[in-house]
Structure 1
Amino acid sequence: MNAGNDSLPLARTGVPGLDDILIGGLTQGNLFLLEGDPGTGKTTIAIRFLMAGVEAGERGLYITLSETEKELRHGAASHGWQLDNGIAIFEVVPPESLMEADQQQSLLYSSDLELGETTRLILGEFERIKPQRVVIDSLSEIRLLAQSSLRYRRQILAFKHYFSRHGATVLLLDDLTSDAADKTVHSVAHGVIKLEELSPEYGAERRRLKVSKYRGQAYRGGFHDFTIKKGGVSVFPRLVSGEHYTKFARHQVKSNVEGLDALLGGGIEQGSSTLILGPAGTGKSLFALQFIVAAVARGEKAALFVFDEELGLLFDRVRGMGIDLEALRDAGSVQIEQVDAAELSPGEFAHRVRARVDMAQAKTIVIDSLNGYQAAMPQENALILHVHELLQYLNRQGANTFLTVAQHGLVGDMKAPVDVTYLADTVILLRYFEALGRVRRAVSVIKKRTGRHEEAIREFRIGDTGLKVGKPLTEFQGVLRGVPTFVGNAIPLLTPNEGGGSDV
């Protein structure tokens, strides 16, 4: 967060999340620039800014040089808004486009006359309405009329001083169509907000914004994701874990699976993160669900974010293992969200997770899987930073977080698509191995920051009674490589009956 003076009166924008980034809103009586390519949401934010003014008892004036009043009202109506009381729309019509006889000339209007006439019309309407909030859309038209950078700068300075004398808070919109490299207004404006739209190779477009300048006022730096949906723009401030901390008592949390808790040295610590790592089909989701079931048994709330599996299939699959996940959801004990990585930005996902912790009081969070989460990220380095901040935030709220990662391959040397093992407090490793003509599964704990853990490797089975973890595999070597060597005198492997039935 950039430091500044927080004592000045602020004009709230009314855009969810944006006022948080601006630490309250826009300082009153100043001129601000909102820039971005067409379609990034400038008009929607500007209309909501004027509506927030009406809610605060202020009059608003929308001066449009690019859109018609009909287009503006239609756009507002698409969000369920009515621009009637308190907001005036002034459509600046160039004189040469009027059909009255006294406006016709045999010679073309000069740029000087056009700019002067446009300015006279804008200031005349301002004097008539006397608004406290003004939007001018867009600067591209004024830039074209000015023709030179010097005249353009002088015109913006004239607007700034005029509106400042009348105490109006002004939002200038720039669609960057006439000269995207022109930074004239940046030096004149009190603050600058830039909107961007990214187009991934697959999936919906991603939008983000940043405050690149704000004189004398604190604000949250960096890029922040936002969406445009019915109802307006929603901004998701970048998560900074250091700003959030809740006091809580640390104690050991069990999975209620005897062998697994033994591996974990009795369980995991409250307010820690656990990574469950293994190839496809080893049971990573089931291990995480065991902690959800145990949390519900303790009377706590839990949240499950599913990236990879259709919910109906997941419900049917785990019901066959003795876990009625759908009933837990219907009872309100477990909040479950199906996440489409192609349609969701990382900032919005972090916002959803925070909502489950802050509003639903969930104390166990499962993200299944990090492979799906990675698909929502533009690049791997950004994924590491997002996961780090999210895990730190959840840890500081006293939540237990479980992430699953599917490794490439089935046996032998396997690699994960992204290495986050150093971020997690506990790492549970699942493996396939072959023994006595059968494909079997093994589990081990390879890392635990918050206490001692068992160094053994145990076999586990998944059956119709759920998860069964056996005794340490002391008679085998090379289990983690997938093809172990038998070195003992007995066969300490789970039988199908010990596993609760046949594999599911």
Structure 2
Amino acid sequence: MPEHSATAVLGPAGSGKTTVGLHFAADAAPDAPSLFFSFYEKPGRLVRKAAGIGIDLEGMIDSGAAKIVWFAPGEYMIDEIGRTAIREAEASGAKRIVFDGLNAACRPLADDIRLGAFLRALNDRLLALGATIVYTYEVSQLFFPEVLASGQFSGLVDNTLLLHYSLTGPTVERRATLLKVRDSDFDHRGCSYRITPDGLVLEPLEGEKIYPTTTDAVPTGPVGTGGTG
């Protein structure tokens, strides 16, 4: 993911959006920490989920390399969410920020015009602080959707990753497909992946290799390996 960019990770329930966010947040350090803003799952559950894919999120929190901020549904107004996010980012100097379910949580709190303006202002402010941002966004289609839409994020993100399912005979596979990388060429072909106790593992098509990029990017993987890709 290019440094100082915003990325939308789209996908249906169970596709691994939170897992991608956890991997991204886990590639942090005390001098360049991460913030994980959760609107679906409480901190304890996220720590257990991270442990199940080989991430010691609890240890990272103890060391100051990561922090989880939980927004309980229905307890915050939209402006409170924005002020809290900016305050936490300023205080921590976070370089990696994940919003897991922000759009869905804010949608009942504002109309489309208000919500769009809020998301643009929040995104611009956090990018100005030097952060790289990941937003997760749930879509209803299980398989590759006929209509692709990233909702309120479409005009403000630089990159879009679609997680979806693929049916090959009797087998259902998870697949990841890049839809957008702003101002860059990229491979449009989908790649299968598995979520394992060692993390999210990409599986290239038979006879193919996954090559790391050499752009000025935030190191993100092959996920869970500490490399770039």
Normalised-by-shorter TM-score class: 0.7 to 0.9
Distance, in Å, in 1 between the alignment partners of 2:124 and 2:207 is 37
1:272–1:400 contact (8 Å) kept in structure 2: yes
Q: RMSD between aligned alpha carbons?
A: 2.2
Cα displacement string for residues 429-455 of structure 1 (whole angstroms, at most 9, x for unaligned residues) = 111111242221000111111433222
Distance, in Å, in 1 between the alignment partners of 2:113 and 2:172 is 36
Match of 2:83 in 1: 351
Match of 1:301 in 2: 33
Residue 289 of structure 1 and its aligned partner are, at CA, apart by 1.7
1:346–1:376 contact (8 Å) kept in structure 2: no
Q: Is 1:431–2:164 an aligned residue pair?
A: yes
Match of 1:132 in 2: none
1:408–1:415 contact (8 Å) kept in structure 2: no
Q: Is 1:440–2:143 an aligned residue pair?
A: no
SS for the counterpart of 1:337 is strand
Q: Is 1:406–2:112 an aligned residue pair?
A: no
Match of 1:392 in 2: 124
Distance, in Å, in 2 between the alignment partners of 1:474 and 1:388 is 42
Match of 2:214 in 1: none
TM-score of the pair, normalised by structure 1? 0.39
Count of matched residue pairs = 207
Distance, in Å, in 2 between the alignment partners of 1:375 and 1:335 is 25
Gaps of 5+ in 1: 1-267, 476-504
Change (3 A) 1:332 1:376: farther
Residue 416 of structure 1 and its aligned partner are, at CA, apart by 5.9
SS for the counterpart of 2:117 is helix
Match of 2:97 in 1: 365
Change (3 A) 1:353 1:446: same
Distance, in Å, in 2 between the alignment partners of 1:474 and 1:347 is 51
1:306–1:367 contact (8 Å) kept in structure 2: yes
Distance, in Å, in 2 between the alignment partners of 1:445 and 1:474 is 20
Distance, in Å, in 1 between the alignment partners of 2:101 and 2:107 is 10
Match of 2:61 in 1: 329
The structure showing larger relative contact order (alpha-carbon pairs under 8 Å, at least 6 residues apart) is 2
Residue from 460, 465, 484 that aligns with 2:193: 460
Q: Is 1:273–2:11 an aligned residue pair?
A: no
Cα displacement string for residues 365-388 of structure 1 (whole angstroms, at most 9, x for unaligned residues) = 100013443245222221111111
Distance, in Å, in 1 between the alignment partners of 2:184 and 2:205 is 20
Q: Is 1:470–2:211 an aligned residue pair?
A: no
SS for the counterpart of 1:343 is coil
Change (3 A) 1:319 1:435: same
SS for the counterpart of 2:164 is strand
Matches within 5 A, 1:211-226: none
2:192 is matched by which residue type in structure 1? E
Q: Is 1:422–2:177 an aligned residue pair?
A: no
SS for the counterpart of 2:87 is helix
Gaps of 5+ in 2: 209-229
Distance, in Å, in 2 between the alignment partners of 1:415 and 1:455 is 15
Change (3 A) 1:380 1:417: farther
SS for the counterpart of 2:151 is coil
Residue from 22, 31, 36 that aligns with 1:289: 22
Distance, in Å, in 2 between the alignment partners of 1:403 and 1:417 is 10
SS for the counterpart of 2:34 is strand
Residue 285 of structure 1 and its aligned partner are, at CA, apart by 1.0
2:161–2:180 contact (8 Å) kept in structure 1: yes
Identity of aligned residues (%): 28
